[in-house]
């Protein structure tokens, strides 16, 4: 009988791990406290890149993640959740320009594609941008970067997995793990259902620390919030990811744009009622920065504002693969999940079923953060 694997979390990581496990012949149950993609994966800028990521092992993992997206999208008819239009970035002051030069020099040294554009070249790529908002020179272009539409990718991966026999359990939170004799034996759900398991994969994103604790493991997390502003459809040509000094933006389908600014992330606060609220002035500031860059956006309105919780392990790097002290318990948790999920999820799935990927996963093991926690 095929081994039964319980995957906790149905975001981009959980969907990728589930799809890879079922392709490899495992019997899989993937469970989520909500709907697939309703957590972090449904509120993310989802920029695919390895732009300035350190150390080299992390950079290389992200480059492999970008290649995995490219390959999957090419293999799947209508796999148009993946968009590789590149990324334009520039800075507003001497300090920022120095940092950008350092980043470009660093990625070029690694063999990553990057080049400098002047204003005229950038306008040819983005004809609706206001030329006056651009510097005359030193606009960095990273042509292999892009973005994904996470919920569409999740839909494809889970549909493929379910067609191969996986079970998808929605709206049923994990409440406990049964651990005996150095292994996880079962997963308990809020519905009182008990899932016997040969292996468990923790893909719970920002809640990964809680799931690890149920297994007797301590996973330090330093999650942060991200504020995303979604516009109404606007008749403006934006074809790629843009990182301007005061706003980040990209297309988001059907003429909509997705706006973000690091300055606005701090405007998301927990209210007395327990909900996350965003100061309207912060949203207005992001929108005005986008309108200054693309004047045609002035015809649009704000359709929605979402706040995502970014899952960030304690040292900022991914946690991937099996736990030495609990070898049938596995992790697939990181920031940059949009970039890494397909590739890293496949590595984790292979290891669940016995293929050692120590060479690729050694730098990202759980034990570096919490040695001897059991």
Mean pLDDT calculated for residue range 338-351: 98
Domain boundary among 265, 292, 310: 310
Q: Are residues 218 and 318 in the same domain?
A: yes
pLDDT band at 374 (very low <50, low <70, confident <90, very high): very low
pLDDT value at 133 more than 60: yes
pLDDT at position 240: 98
Q: Which two tokens stand for residue 129?
A: 């941008």
Q: Are residues 154 and 298 in the same domain?
A: no
Q: Per residue in 68-90, pLDDT tens? A: 999 999 999 888 899 999 999 99
Phi then psi for residue 2, to 5 deg, are -65, 145
Q: Which two tokens stand for residue 239?
A: 């074809």
70 in any annotated domain: no
Q: Are residues 253 and 300 in the same domain?
A: yes
Mean pLDDT calculated for residue range 270-283: 86
| CATH number of 130's domain | 3.30.9.10
User: End-to-end distance of the chain based on CA atoms, in angstroms?
Assistant: 31
Mean pLDDT calculated for residue range 45-60: 97
pLDDT at position 373: 42
| CATH number of 176's domain | 3.50.50.60
Q: Are residues 217 and 231 in the same domain?
A: no
Rg (the chain; Cα; Å): 21
Q: Are residues 133 and 233 in the same domain?
A: yes
Orientation of helix 337-352 relative to helix 12-23, angle to 10°: 30
Q: Per residue in 148-177, pLDDT tens? A: 999 999 999 999 999 999 999 999 999 999
293 in any annotated domain: yes
112 in any annotated domain: yes
68 in any annotated domain: no
Q: Per residue in 225-269, pLDDT tens? A: 999 999 999 999 999 999 999 999 999 989 999 999 998 998 888
Q: Are residues 236 and 304 in the same domain?
A: yes
76 in any annotated domain: no
Q: Are residues 212 and 179 in the same domain?
A: yes
Q: CA-CA distance, 146 to 3, in Å (whole number)?
A: 36
Domain boundary among 285, 310, 335: 310
Tokens 């744009």 belong to 257
pLDDT at position 371: 55
Strand order in the sheet with 248-251: 115-117, 139-142, 87-89, 241-243, 248-251, 257-260, 224-231, 302-310
pLDDT value at 140 more than 80: yes
Q: Are residues 232 and 88 in the same domain?
A: yes
Give 29's strand partners: 6, 167
Domain boundary among 268, 288, 310: 310
Count of the separate structural domains present in the chain: 2
Q: Which two tokens stand for residue 86?
A: 């590149």
Q: Per residue in 282-330, pLDDT tens? A: 999 999 999 999 999 999 999 999 999 999 999 999 999 999 999 999 9
170 in any annotated domain: yes
Going along 56-138, which residue ranges are E strands?
82-83, 87-89, 115-117
Mean pLDDT calculated for residue range 40-58: 96
> What percent of the chain shows pLDDT beyond 70?
98
pLDDT value at 272 more than 80: no
127 in any annotated domain: yes
> What percent of the chain shows pLDDT beyond 90?
91
- Distances from the Cα of 68 to the Cα of 147, 284, 317, angstroms: 13, 37, 19
Q: Are residues 253 and 263 in the same domain?
A: yes
116 in any annotated domain: yes
Q: Are residues 227 and 206 in the same domain?
A: no
pTM score above 0.75? yes
Helix, coil or strand: residue 8 = strand
Q: Are residues 217 and 158 in the same domain?
A: yes
Domain holding 25, by residue range, is 4-48+150-222+314-368
Q: Are residues 192 and 232 in the same domain?
A: no
Round the average pLDDT of the chain to a whole number and report it: 95
């Amino acid at each position: 009988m095929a081994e039964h694997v319980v995957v906790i979390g149905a975001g981009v990581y959980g969907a990728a791990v589930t799809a890879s496990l079922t392709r490899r012949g495992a019997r899989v149950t993937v469970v989520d406290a909500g709907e697939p993609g309703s957590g972090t994966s449904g509120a993310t800028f989802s920029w695919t890149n390895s732009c300035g990521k350190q150390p080299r092992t992390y950079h290389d993992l992200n480059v492999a993640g970008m290649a995995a997206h490219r390959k999957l999208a090419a293999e799947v008819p209508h796999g148009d959740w993946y968009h590789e239009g590149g990324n334009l970035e520039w800075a507003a002051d001497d300090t920022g320009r120095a940092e950008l030069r350092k980043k470009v020099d660093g990625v070029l040294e690694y063999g990553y594609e990057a080049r400098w554009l002047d204003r005229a070249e950038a306008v040819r790529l983005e004809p609706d941008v206001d030329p006056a908002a651009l510097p005359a020179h030193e606009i960095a272009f990273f042509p292999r970067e892009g973005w994904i539409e996470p919920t569409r990718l999740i839909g494809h991966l889970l549909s493929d997995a379910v067609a191969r026999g996986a079970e998808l359990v929605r709206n049923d939170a994990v409440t406990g793990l049964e651990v005996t004799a150095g292994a996880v034996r079962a997963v308990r759900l809020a519905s009182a259902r008990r899932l016997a398991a040969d292996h468990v994969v923790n893909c719970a994103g920002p809640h990964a620390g809680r799931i690890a604790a149920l297994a007797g493991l301590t996973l330090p997390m330093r999650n942060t919030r991200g504020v995303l502003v979604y516009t109404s459809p606007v008749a403006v040509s934006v074809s790629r990811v843009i990182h301007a000094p005061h706003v980040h933006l990209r297309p988001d389908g059907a003429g909509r744009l997705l706006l973000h600014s690091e300055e606005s992330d701090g405007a998301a606060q927990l209210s007395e009622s327990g909900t996350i609220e965003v100061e309207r002035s912060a949203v207005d500031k992001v929108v005005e920065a986008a309108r200054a860059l693309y004047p045609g956006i002035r015809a649009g309105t704000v359709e929605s504002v979402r706040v995502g919780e970014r899952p960030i392990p304690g040292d900022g790097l991914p946690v991937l693969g099996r736990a030495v002290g609990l070898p049938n318990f596995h992790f697939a948790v990181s920031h940059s999940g949009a970039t890494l999920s397909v590739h890293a999820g496949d590595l984790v799935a292979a290891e669940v079923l016995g293929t050692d990927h120590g060479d690729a996963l050694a730098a990202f093991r759980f034990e570096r953060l919490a040695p001897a926690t059991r």
